[in-house]
Structure 1
Amino acid sequence: MFATANQVERFDQLYQELLVRREEQEREHLARQLKSYGKYLKIAQMTFQKTPGYQNAKLLKDITKPLNEFASEFEGVAKGLDEPFMLFAMGMGKYGKSTLLNALMEQELAMMDELPKTWKIDVFNRHIPKNKAIIVFKDGRKNLLTKQDAEMVIQGEEKKRLDSEKLVNKMYKEVMRELKTAIEKKEYKQYLSQTHLYESDVTEVHWGVEQSALLKDFYLVDTPGVSQKIMGEMKVNIQEYYHKADGVLWLLDATVISAGNSRKLLEELDHSLEAVGGKAENMIGVLNRIDVIRERGGEESVQQILQEANEIYQGVFEAIIPISAKQAFEGIMSDDKYLVEQSGVTALNDVIKKRFLQRSKQIQIARKVQAAQLLANRVKYHFSGFKQRLIEDEARKSEQLFHLDEELAEKTEQFSKRINTLINQYQRSVQANIDRYAEQLFDIEGKDSQRHFLEDRIFESESLARDINSLQQQAREQMDTINQHYLHKLWFKEYQHLDFQALPHHEGDTPDFYVGLQAGRLDTDGISFASGTGIALIGAAFLGPIGLLLGGIAGALGLTKWIAKQFKLGGLKSDLKETLTDSANKVATDLQQGVQDLARHIGNSLETFSEESFSSLYGPSDEAKRILVLIKEVETRMDKQVEPLSVKELILQDRISKAKKA
């Protein structure tokens, strides 16, 4: 039994309805996943912001601030599923994008050549009134303005950008001679870009235009240059907007190929595609300025250039169409059908409809999946440098503090031995003096004379003071050397190789505690161990006992000197030696305590300094592992692929949809 024509028609209708329903469910499923990326990143940003000291942690704050912008981009991709097909015009040089877009839209937009194209995309949208424009910001905000007001806003943003570019180029030239190494120059460029180069919050401008055949089904998009030159270096920025494209018209210059410079075009294209993850499958090559080739060598030359282009870009483009954007626009404006046909724009329109329009919904879904992966990769790349630097700096901090403790302990031990050696030598010398000169004390009259004799001849106070001061000076100098060495080892700063104090016009760009570092000294108030304190140490240790000894001698002098020498000399020597031992031990203990205090002070000061500088970049060091865990969680989430809708989910979604309608 065969189906009737009506049954076949009904089956076909049901099949088409099923395809439409499945496509709708796939789009809804994809939109939910894309929005979930955005929601996750917003939550991640709030989690990072809970880090203690977050507001003062420069690098942590800078690296997490854009998460909200990434979230908006994911949400924008999701919204793009409900919008017309986004057809981008792209290319490296001035290959006629504006003229081509005018021709494809079949109207002249005077502002197209006047508006800046270095930092935003211009979307030509038939759904907006012709005299209106919508400005879209990084955080997803939109502002509806008159076209005139929008142009003024954009011109103002461009002026800020150009003025800032002039400023950074001027600043770089002024300082360039002071920068000795390549890494210093690189860091200074980074500094200028981050602190003085203006970056607009505007990412898109949607301009209202009249409807044309192509605009009925597409949004046409004019793009910034694939790269721009700042401070002598090329900055590739295609990855900032490529994920928004559903399809691409990539402009090539036919005259460049004819001049034998096809390798240049290929290198330009490879470099651009590399920035967005490699070869794309949504690109049509537009070989512009074919009219120049035709004038030089006729149709045969056109075919020859086309064949060469196909060989060069084999597998890169879905098709390569030779056109003359100039002839196309002139023909459309003058209603010259022959010129329009000869320009190749009709063939281009046919290919656009065949390659893109007939499969627009499927292409959009595929492109949004790719866009999600591109954005996810950008998020991971965004964190990669920060993560590596945090890991290295955390390890460096721990390692250098460990080495500092070791070196301070070693130096303390060295000076402890030197103190013991000095005091032991001093004791042997004074003991000999006691045996040799103690008897003479009975012949000296007056306490002051006796005191001077004891201090100078027996206890050699001035000599000991000089030795102590010399040892203290050496200890201080050697501890200062350690201090200076580790100050630089433990100084964590945003630009690791730049010394702003040495750069003209940058004296105020160095934080206060960095200025203290450059001065080369840490605060040592409260540390008694310093050169010149030898006399004080000796006085504290010896003056009291010497006074008691003098009292004993005065009592002995009440007897005859001969009797005193016979009966009191032995006791005097014993008292002097006991005083020597006690006082020398006290001096040694005080000296060793001074060395330990100085080492402890330097260690504590350096540890505090390193923590302050580390925290100024990343937040407290004890939060570093938590921050790395959070980054790993973000990376893991970004690695999660956008999953297609399974048959089970499709049936479930269908039942949910029917239940809602019921």
Structure 2
Amino acid sequence: MLAEALEEPFLLFFVGMGKFGKSTLINSLLGRRKAEMDALPKTWKIDVFYGADNKDEVEIKYNNGLSEYLSYEEAQAMLEEEEIKREKSDDEVRKELRKQMQTLDTIEEKEELKEALEKHLLYKSPVIEARWPVQKNKVLEDFQLVDTPGLVQDLLGEMKMEVNEYYHKADGVIWLLDATKIAGEKSKEMLDKLTLAIKEVGGRTDNIIGVLNSIDLVRKSGGQDAVEKIMEEAESIFGRFFENIIPISAKEALEAVESGDKDLIESSGLSSLHDEIYRNFYLNANKVQLESKKIGVKRVLMDLEKNTAEYREKLQEDNKRRLKLKAELSKDIKKTKKEFINEIDAVLSDYRSNVEINIDNYAKEIFYQEQSRDKYIKNTIFEKKQLQQEIKRLEKEINEKLKSLGSYHQKRAVFKEFEHLNKSDITVSRLKTSLMMSTHGVYLDEDDVMSTGIGVAFAFSAIFGPIGFIVGGLASYFGLAKWILLKFKLGEIKQNLRSNLDDFVYKTKKKLRNKVMNEIKKIENKTASIRESSFAELHGPSSEYDKIIDFFESLNLAAEFDLKKRSLHETVFQDFNIQVDELVSRS
């Protein structure tokens, strides 16, 4: 609650765009070397230094909400190990990024590759905060000092404000700038970085004190005149961002504190910084803290609303696409079924016409084919080879269309985390297995389509029996005169042949249709499985879509949360009354 937060010591954040002496300045305010000074800023945690006499355990906070307490030595060793893991991972990811960037063409592919590598391969420490107890002094009586990651480069060299994940907790901010980079073109670069950084942390500037560090180097090179000139330029360039700008030498300040040199404390700028901190923050601590906490909570809720809004938009777009894909597949399936049925019917209709003509023209020749009646009936009258070739042609055509249908719809059915990246673009096996971009079943396997010849072989097996019966039934007449057979049995033979033709065409048509319909059903089921399973990997089952949307629409947290009109008195006592009401309700 806000009232409870106001009882905590003032959180004073130290922010800098690079290695500009943050830790050295913090140590000078702590009165001893506690913050690590000779290492690059850690981008994965914050260090909180708080006053606590007779306490030497360091609290390590994890991203799962748990904490553990370690000795100073144990904490330092553990954090060093985490940093080694991060650095090693960072080197590997950057190396892989440079390697794979050469194979990508579009900006979208490169951005998604960077995001994929950062998300799935870059080591992320579970540690988010280390709380270091320090013997109390004047500063630590009223403030907790927070060393932050600051502005760093991401994998593509773009500047990124890592502290924005923690910034909402800050009551006040000390923002360090490098005095040696104020002049010339570097001031423009600094201004751009500062503008970006302020934007990244929410745009608020009324609780920030600017500190111009390394002023001793400016003084050494140009004397007091150079210092005054640099201060004028700093005020002109950066004044709108800060309540005040204090020139300081963090290096001299730490030396002065450690040696007890009061004159050096004064000339280093440390005394001026003390005064500014107490004037801006201590004298109005409750008011500043309250406003900071309100804005911090507001920002968290706004970030939540922004993130949920972005995801909800993505979810709605994907579901709209899912339904469209489903409808398009259904339409194409219906169209394809009709086309295949018409093609099968057309082939068998032409075949029937040809065989009927053959029966009329060649049936009498059966009585003259004493050695090869069976072959004559199958090959000459029923045109076995011609039909076999025609069905093979039909099957090949259907196969190609089935493959095209399946490939087209199954490729489009895949919902991916990274739309522009394909498996072929990724050479890291760990990333391949991490990415939810499966294209399983996009291409039909050979076993999933009609195998050439199956339909034909089955179809002709249906007439072997009847043909044998016809020939066998005529055997007793072969000894008679042919003119007698032609006169009395030819009509019967023709009728039997036509009956067998009808039966053969009917069964062949049915089997071919069933075979094609089964293959189409396989494609339909496989496509639906890819579509629904890949959608579920990203968003959960599509059957839960309406519930998820209803949940997001019920949030509206940021829009309903308004603390602007609440006074300190109302905040404290409303929270107090809530606690009292809770106690009463339990009794």
Q: Same fold by TM-score, threshold 0.5 exceeded?
A: yes
SS at match of 1:200: coil
**1:579 matched to 2:504:** no
Give the C-alpha shift of residue 657 in structure 1.
8.7
Given candidates 427, 431, 444, the residue that maps to 1:521 is 444
Distance 1:649 1:87 in 2: 22
Q: Which residue of 2 aligns with 1:613?
A: 534
**1:622 matched to 2:547:** no
Give the C-alpha shift of residue 468 in structure 1.
0.8
What's the CA shift string for 1:20-70, capped at 9, x where partnerless? xxxxxxxx5x35xxxxxxxxxxxxxxxxxxxxxxxxxxxxxxxxxxxxxxx
1:375-524 to 2 correspondence within 5 Å? 375-445=300-370, 449-500=372-423, 503-506=426-429, 509-510=432-433, 514=438, 516-517=440-441, 520-522=443-445, 524=447
Q: Which residue of 2 aligns with 1:276?
A: 201
1:28-43 to 2 correspondence within 5 Å? 30=2
Give the C-alpha shift of residue 246 in structure 1.
0.5
Q: Which residue of 1 aligns with 2:464?
A: 543
**1:198 matched to 2:123:** yes
What's the CA shift string for 1:314-349, capped at 9, x where partnerless? 432111222222333333333333332222222221
Give the C-alpha shift of residue 130 in structure 1.
6.0
Contact 1:377 1:638 (C-alpha < 8 Å) held by counterparts: yes
CA 1:484/1:94 → structure 2, altered by over 3 Å: closer, same or farther? same
CA 1:477/1:651 → structure 2, altered by over 3 Å: closer, same or farther? closer
CA 1:153/1:581 → structure 2, altered by over 3 Å: closer, same or farther? same
Contact 1:118 1:228 (C-alpha < 8 Å) held by counterparts: no
Q: Which residue of 2 aligns with 1:177?
A: 102
Q: Which residue of 2 aligns with 1:63?
A: none
Given candidates 271, 286, 290, the residue that maps to 2:211 is 286
What's the CA shift string for 1:609-655, capped at 9, x where partnerless? 32233333333222233233334434x23443154558999888788
Give the C-alpha shift of residue 433 in structure 1.
1.2
**1:641 matched to 2:561:** yes
CA 1:114/1:410 → structure 2, altered by over 3 Å: closer, same or farther? closer
Distance 2:579 2:24 in 1: 46
Distance 2:80 2:440 in 1: 44
SS at match of 2:241: coil
Contact 1:500 1:507 (C-alpha < 8 Å) held by counterparts: no
Give the C-alpha shift of residue 463 in structure 1.
0.7
Contact 2:28 2:254 (C-alpha < 8 Å) held by counterparts: yes
CA 1:135/1:80 → structure 2, altered by over 3 Å: closer, same or farther? farther
Contact 2:359 2:497 (C-alpha < 8 Å) held by counterparts: yes
CA 1:394/1:541 → structure 2, altered by over 3 Å: closer, same or farther? same
Give the C-alpha shift of residue 602 in structure 1.
1.3
SS at match of 2:182: helix
Decide which moves more: 558-567 or 283-292.
Answer: 558-567
Distance 1:342 1:507 in 2: 56
Given candidates 218, 232, 249, the residue that maps to 1:324 is 249
What's the CA shift string for 1:585-624, capped at 9, x where partnerless? 3322322222222212211122123223333333322223
Distance 1:445 1:423 in 2: 30
Given candidates 124, 127, 131, the residue that maps to 2:52 is 127
Give the C-alpha shift of residue 385 in structure 1.
4.7
Distance 2:61 2:437 in 1: 42
Contact 2:60 2:130 (C-alpha < 8 Å) held by counterparts: yes
Given candidates 23, 26, 32, the residue that maps to 1:101 is 26
Decide which moves more: 340-349 or 641-650.
Answer: 641-650
Give the C-alpha shift of residue 476 in structure 1.
0.9
SS at match of 1:286: strand
CA 1:523/1:604 → structure 2, altered by over 3 Å: closer, same or farther? farther
CA 1:396/1:604 → structure 2, altered by over 3 Å: closer, same or farther? same
Distance 1:502 1:230 in 2: 18
Distance 2:571 2:425 in 1: 65
Distance 2:280 2:175 in 1: 14
Distance 2:306 2:320 in 1: 22
Give the C-alpha shift of residue 367 in structure 1.
0.6
The percent identity for this pair of structures is: 36
Give the C-alpha shift of residue 497 in structure 1.
3.5
Partner AA of 1:117 in structure 2: K
SS at match of 1:199: coil
**1:532 matched to 2:460:** no
Partner AA of 2:517 in structure 1: Q
Decide which moves more: 475-484 or 374-383.
Answer: 374-383
**1:333 matched to 2:266:** no
SS at match of 1:498: coil
CA 1:432/1:600 → structure 2, altered by over 3 Å: closer, same or farther? same
Partner AA of 2:359 in structure 1: I
**1:253 matched to 2:173:** no
**1:343 matched to 2:264:** no
Distance 2:167 2:47 in 1: 13
Contact 1:434 1:573 (C-alpha < 8 Å) held by counterparts: yes
**1:568 matched to 2:493:** no
Partner AA of 2:453 in structure 1: G
Distance 1:601 1:428 in 2: 34
Q: Which residue of 2 aligns with 1:70?
A: none
1:545-560 to 2 correspondence within 5 Å? 545-557=466-478, 559-560=480-481
CA 1:291/1:604 → structure 2, altered by over 3 Å: closer, same or farther? same
TM-score w.r.t. structure 2 length?
0.89
Partner AA of 2:84 in structure 1: K
CA 1:640/1:655 → structure 2, altered by over 3 Å: closer, same or farther? closer
Distance 2:384 2:53 in 1: 97
**1:157 matched to 2:78:** no
1:649-660 to 2 correspondence within 5 Å? none
Give the C-alpha shift of residue 89 in structure 1.
1.4
Contact 2:42 2:83 (C-alpha < 8 Å) held by counterparts: no
Contact 1:226 1:238 (C-alpha < 8 Å) held by counterparts: yes
Give the C-alpha shift of residue 496 in structure 1.
3.6
Give the C-alpha shift of residue 492 in structure 1.
2.6
What's the CA shift string for 1:164-185, capped at 9, x where partnerless? 1122223334444344443333
SS at match of 2:198: helix
Partner AA of 2:261 in structure 1: D
Contact 1:516 1:522 (C-alpha < 8 Å) held by counterparts: no
Distance 1:293 1:260 in 2: 17
SS at match of 1:261: helix
Listed as ranges, the gaps of 5+ residues in structure 2 are none
Listed as ranges, the gaps of 5+ residues in structure 1 are 1-27, 32-78
Q: Which residue of 2 aligns with 1:590?
A: 511
Given candidates 495, 520, 523, the residue that maps to 1:599 is 520
**1:222 matched to 2:143:** no
Contact 2:60 2:69 (C-alpha < 8 Å) held by counterparts: yes
Give the C-alpha shift of residue 140 in structure 1.
3.2
CA 1:603/1:263 → structure 2, altered by over 3 Å: closer, same or farther? same
What's the CA shift string for 1:344-399, capped at 9, x where partnerless? 22222112111110110111111111111222233334445543433333233322
Distance 1:350 1:507 in 2: 54
Give the C-alpha shift of residue 425 in structure 1.
1.6
Give the C-alpha shift of residue 575 in structure 1.
3.0
CA 1:522/1:314 → structure 2, altered by over 3 Å: closer, same or farther? same
What's the CA shift string for 1:184-212, capped at 9, x where partnerless? 33333323222322111222222222322
SS at match of 1:258: coil
What's the CA shift string for 1:71-123, capped at 9, x where partnerless? xxxxxxxx643211111111112222222222223334474445853322222
Contact 1:434 1:576 (C-alpha < 8 Å) held by counterparts: yes
**1:240 matched to 2:165:** yes
Give the C-alpha shift of residue 417 in structure 1.
1.8
